[in-house]
Copies of this chain bind each other. A is one copy, B any other.
Amino acid sequence: MAEHTVTLDIAEEPISVPSGTLLSEAAAQAGVDINQPCGGQGRCGRCAVQVTEGDVRRRSTLRLSSEDVAKGYALACQSVIAEDVTITVPPQEKIERRLTTDRTVAEVTIPDGYNPEQTQTIRRVALTLSPPNLEDQTDDWSRLQTAARKQAGVTQLKTSLEILQKIGAILREGEWRVTAVLNSKTWDCPDCPAHLLELYPGHFTEDTPLWGAAIDIGTTTVSVWLVDLLTGKVRTQVAEYNQQISRGEDVISRIIFASKNGGAEKMRELVRGTINDLLAQACKRVKAAPSEIFKVTIAGNSTMIHLLLGLPAASIRLTPFVTGVNHIPTMAAAEVGLDIHPRAMVDCLPGVASYVGADISAGVLSSGMADSEDVVLFLDVGTNGEIVLGSKDWLVTCACSAGPAFEGAGVLHGMRATKGAIEEVWIDGKNYEPSFRVVGNVKPRGLCGSGLISLLAEMFLTGVVDKGGSINTKLGITRVRDGDHGSEYVIARADETKHEKDIVITNVDIDNLLRAKAAIYAGFTVLANSVGIPLETAEHVLVGGSFGKYINVEKAVEIGLLPDMPWDRFQFLGNTSVQGAYLGLIDHNLRRRITEIAARMTYIELSADNTFYDAFMSALFLPHTDMSLFPTIAAAIERG
């Protein structure tokens, strides 16, 4: 096959690839990472590059104007090398660091009566052995096992070859005084032998921490809590965007990317990179070494867990939507590829189904709903929306393909909740002039989820949009105008913004937001119907997910995203997933409960539910077709 030379302006040197190579793959071979937020489906247009010499074969030019194509622009994920080319790669969109200080640090309460000696599976014990002599020629390993039995009550102890290879040297270096780190009382096999993970010469001081980490792998954000397993205290919390974002913003895009040649390995590498960076960062803060971490507990949706472990994820996306593995056995860190102690225990929490993952099992535990006498509605709004309805007696759950609209995707000027994002909007009912608050108090660059909800609610209540979501073009104001994407409302004019361009919301954006909120509300309806109770039976509405934390309930109810209930029933819990991972990390009884909860949840597949479509269609209005479900809003509109 013919070979062609591809010269990228930002690559170290030109490379040679066979005819027919995808431009994005050629770039990867040249060491240039091109963002593909839609997973390389040609849907987002964010991988556009400019061909300056020669040309490429364009399979698709979706999202490129004819002017763009005339200037040589091409989608890297949709263009094929057919001759020698020179390519200019525009600056890649940088993922900004999340403002960890104000957005992710959670208050953590160690559970009442927590006693690590009884509930922590990882132990550190100081052992003193009698040296061998001609009257006592017991082998080193049996000698250590005897000491562990007599001095630490460990009846059965196993270990790995690496430890056996060095045990003799360590016993002698420590002059028969050693410190053992062991994993015992595993939650899933109480009769299994304890596992000696590491052995150090000499005795440790008691105030030396024994490190563990609770991890939540979100589609968007990965959170890590570093915990001293001896006290249960969270010593530091860090979070970053999941580096996989550059290969897909939602789980579907990521699965598609992972199904491509080398895609699964790339996905593993990106998420491991994210986790390892965070662990290193957390360790640095508390002056620990990552190799001192002996246990991590990981929550995340099913796709995130599959991609982390290199489990094929394609079946998650295709009917009948099954995962490879919901209950992952405990593994060693070296197997998973985490840069911590190589024999550290990695415990991935169990999921329920393809779209109700370990993040929800963990969230249900940490929300407390599985112990509740009252009926509770739990909603986790992240990149997807998952809902659980139930109490200590029963739990039903479903997942809504809400999409990442509330994270700013699919909305023209949407963005994540970082510096420059409009997070709240007010519209004057008389002149329709908006005012707003911006994250970081700077000039705005776009709208984040809470800003979009707030904006939509205000537009609806002031009549800038109607019940159906159409922008009212008859108000006679300049803020409403015709744009490239139909009618639009201008929230901020170019002279007010960071990038000196107008920030608008369009009819298309509003449609996307309506579909997202309708999907979630329809989920509530289907779950309540499935158990034959009205939704308002729920005494508590618990909202998890880092996004959920910043929703204004009033506004969310006004657009029909949340049910119309007394406000005191709502509670925002933050990242319930990492909280659940933390509880599973420090207490093996709670860890067992997560598995029990996952087994107890009845999953309802909305795509197979014949009431879902009607419920969805009815919810595609502001706030809903059936206004009797939203009496407070109906009254407010009545009042004018």
Contacts and interface: CB of A to CB of B under 8 A. Distances in A.
Contact of A191 (B137, B192, B315): B192
Interface string A139-167: 11110000000000000101111001101
A140 B312 CA distance: 11
A612 to B, nearest CB: 13
A323 B142 CA distance: 10
Contact of A135 (B139, B312, B608): B608
A156 B188 CA distance: 10
Interface in A365-396: none
Interface stretch (A5-13, A43-51, A236-244, A328-336): A328-336
Nearest to A325: B141
A610 to B, nearest CB: 12
A279 to B, nearest CB: 20
A393 B414 CA distance: 83
A603 to B, nearest CB: 7
A93 to B, nearest CB: 32
Nearest to A609: B134
A328 B164 contact: yes
A165 to B, nearest CB: 5
Given A161-B310, A165-B309, A193-B189, A608 B325 contact: no
Contact of A138 (B156, B165, B309, B322): B322
A134 B335 CA distance: 33
A353 interface: yes
A320 interface: yes
Contacts of A134: 319-321, 605, 607-608
Given A134-B605, A193-B189, A323 B159 contact: no
B323 A139 contact: yes
Contacts of A310: 161, 165
A354 interface: yes
A561 to B, nearest CB: 27
A600 B605 CA distance: 61
A140 B608 contact: no
A168 interface: yes
A460 to B, nearest CB: 36
Contacts of A315: 140, 168
B607 A159 contact: no
B165 A322 contact: no
A14 interface: no
A467 to B, nearest CB: 34
A132 interface: yes
Given A138-B322, A140-B323, A168 B329 contact: no
A312 B189 contact: no
A164 B325 contact: yes
A326 interface: yes
A478 interface: no
A167 B324 contact: yes
B137 A331 contact: no
Contacts of A311: 164-165, 168
Nearest to A319: B134
A139 B603 contact: no
A637 interface: no
Contacts of A142: 325-327
A133 interface: yes
A353 B132 CA distance: 12
A169 interface: yes
Contacts of A156: 189
Contacts of A320: 132-134, 136-137
Contacts of A319: 134
A169 B192 CA distance: 31
Given A156-B189, A164-B309, 9 more contacts: A135-B608, A137-B603, A137-B605, A139-B326, A141-B327, A158-B329, A167-B325, A168-B315, A189-B192
8 A-B pairs closest in CB distance = A134-B608, A141-B325, A139-B326, A191-B191, A139-B323, A132-B322, A168-B324, A134-B320
11 contacts: A132-B322, A134-B320, A134-B607, A137-B354, A138-B322, A139-B325, A141-B327, A156-B189, A159-B329, A160-B329, A168-B324
